[in-house]
Structure 1
Amino acid sequence: MDKLMNNHWVMKFTALFLALMLYASVNIQAGPSPAKQSANPLSPGPSSGTATVTDVPVQTYFDQENLVVTGVPETVNVDLEGPTSTLTVARQVKDFEIYADLSKLSIGTHRIQLRHKNLSEDLEASINPSIITVSIEEKITQDFPVEVDFINRNQMKEGYTPEQPIINPNSVRITASKEVIESIALVKARVNLDSADETIKRESRVTIYDRDGNVLPVEVEPSVVDITVPITSPSKTLPFKIVREGKLGEGISISSIESDPKEVTVYGPQEVLDQLEFINDVSVDLSKIQEDTEIEVNVPIPDGVKKITPEKIKIKIKVEKEEEKVFDNQPIKSVGLGEKELEFIDPDSEALDISIFGAPSIIQSINAGDIELYVNITELGDGEHDVKVEVNGPQNITWTLPIEEVKIRISSPS
């Protein structure tokens, strides 16, 4: 025995045997499971580790046509453990699935375990949360009217107001559980009125609220509606002046001109409306009138006005056979004389005969006091002047004078 102990070869084999036993003992305690150990105890095993894959979507399997499920989280976190290379692929590709299988469960509340599939056999998975409580209810579909909320209404331009909105479609179909359907209080779409000064057309998302004002995540069809909001601007009702163009045919005269309506409404900024007193240039071409006529004419839109209603008006024109009436020695008045003195040279009588023409129903009621002849000398200085005679008289008549101008003399007081 002493000889064996003193033999150096024996000592070397003994040391090697003890080293192998120690190595095997350590790997058995801390290494991988025997099924995954290398057949050769001297070769190193594959590197391993752990990783957490976040926000993994949860798939739910159930009768989607007839049932509604709540309580299933949209995503979960999954802790993975296994070979580093396999972990890397799983974390980057996310080619595995987390699911909740409710296909065999009845209506009611259940606690179920989330499961995984399509995960590499080399990996172990821990789902967080792994146990969830779900509620399975019968699916109900019901129609609800859509209401419109105006936001920033106080930011509209001054004087402008929104009218009743037009919603298309005016109702939506909501699908949810009976409990959720019964909790619906409002179905709203929103329209921003900031700086609005004309009709607004918008697409708006539909939002569903419960009685506490909470938004309900339900299925809505359609989820977006078209909204038209008429915007009313400041308005003003104005008369209009009919401008006659051209001349009537020989031998006829206007007995009446009536419009329908007699006023129009203009819309626009208040500062523009404040400057308007009437609508001008509603024109009628008399050269086309041969008999009693009803015509439709456009109403001109003044500068700065956004809209005018109605845009067209009807004008009824009645004509009669023309007659003549003469007023002799109708006095000529002066306008703008001031403190100066006026002398008529020709005619020195300070009067002219005037013939008026019109429909019998009109001229028969006209007397001399209804006809005024005058000369305007406002801008004339001292001396002799030829001045045009102007005539004021009732409408729908014409007139002639023996002369168009008179000769006068103006002088300053001495």
Structure 2
Amino acid sequence: MTNMKNKKIKDNNPDSKLELANKIAKQSKKVVNTYAHFEDSLFRVIRSFSSWIDNVLFNQRFSVIVSLGLAILIYITVNFNSQNSIFGNPLVNAKPINNVPIVARYNTDTFEISGLPATANITIIGEGSNVNAAANQKGTIVANLEGLTEGQHTVRLQAEGYGDNVQVKTDPTDVVVTLKKKSTGQFDIGYDFINQDKMNSIYSLGTPEFEYSKVNVRASKDTLDSIAFIKALIDVTGVEGDFEQEATLVAYDKKGVPVNADIVPNTVKVKVPVTSPNKTVPIIVETVGDVPNGMAIQSITMDHESVTIYASESVLSKINEVGVTLDASSLTKDSSVLRPITLPTGVKSSSVNQVTMDVKLANGVTKIIPNVPISYKNNVNKYKFTTLDGQAYVDVEIFGTQENIDKVNVDDIVVYFDMANATPGNQEFKLSVEQPIGSLVKYSVSQPTISVTVSGEVDNTMEESVGTN
């Protein structure tokens, strides 16, 4: 209590109040000095920054960088809204499509068109979903020539059928085409059989009979001049007898390339006779090579001795047998051999395609047939000639099994020389011996050549014989 009282007395003391006032004044002065110091420092910083800005802005070395920075800042400020608009819109897609067909619109009855490509390329542009939808449409490219007259024209290509939500650009944009007036020409009707590989080969096709033999063709004069023939394409798929059909007519140039023209009418009624001409002929075995180890073929028995062949009458008239070959050098013992039949040219089919041969072997022997007459062939110039010392005969050596060579006599052998290339004077001709078809005996002449003197005179009575002429 006494302390509190003393403190109160002290606070009311005038000296104490003066001391307090002095402390407050000192503190205020200190604050003022601190603020003044801070303000002075701030001004120094501002002056330094201002000086640096001046150095940068007005220094030639930094002026380009400053200008670029200001330009970028201005661009960003001006285009900020438009950039937001771009990023807010859907993405634009483009899809190319190649080889889109071009359709020409023009008076086809009056004009013929040339120079128009068959296809063009397009690019579809738009929003992704719209582009994909348009690409799946069956659109076309149109060349509109309606109202145009004869001559050359530049035509704008237009895409149609892709919808209104996309833009379609064509490549090329324009094409140069020519319109020519059509005229009419008349042509004979020829024919071709098509799909013959789909018809049974035992059948033969006769000469077609057409409802009419001539037809009108409409095209430009240049096109008409290029047409070499008109053919009716007759489809023979699966035919087995006489038939009728409407055959399509096609125009061709001289190289056999189809020509685009209006054929009026474009089909013709045709009747075709179908036959199956055939002929049965023997099968003849032709042996090649020699049986090894001194053996020879004793006999050949086939499971088919004859075959029916199918061909045209003209081909059949020239065929009297068909052959099958047997390689004798591959035989070492009695064997059963399967071999294909060799069909002559022009034969379409046969009743048998191969034969099985039962081949028997035996020991081979040699025999000399003396005094075989020498004949000649192909004396086309009918020259007179004589042989050296009047030679008219030669010996022939035969080889085969004993049973087979015993059947051969001199009348079975033909020895000859060929005079196709004969000229007047002394000449050596090769002697040849005919090997009978199907024979199991081998023939060879003991003398390889014959000396002949060709006089050069002509004897129109000469026959295929030998002697002094």
Greater share of helix residues, 1 or 2?
Answer: 2
Greater share of strand residues, 1 or 2?
Answer: 1
The TM tier, using the shorter chain, reads 0.3 to 0.5
TM-score, normalising length: structure 1:
0.42
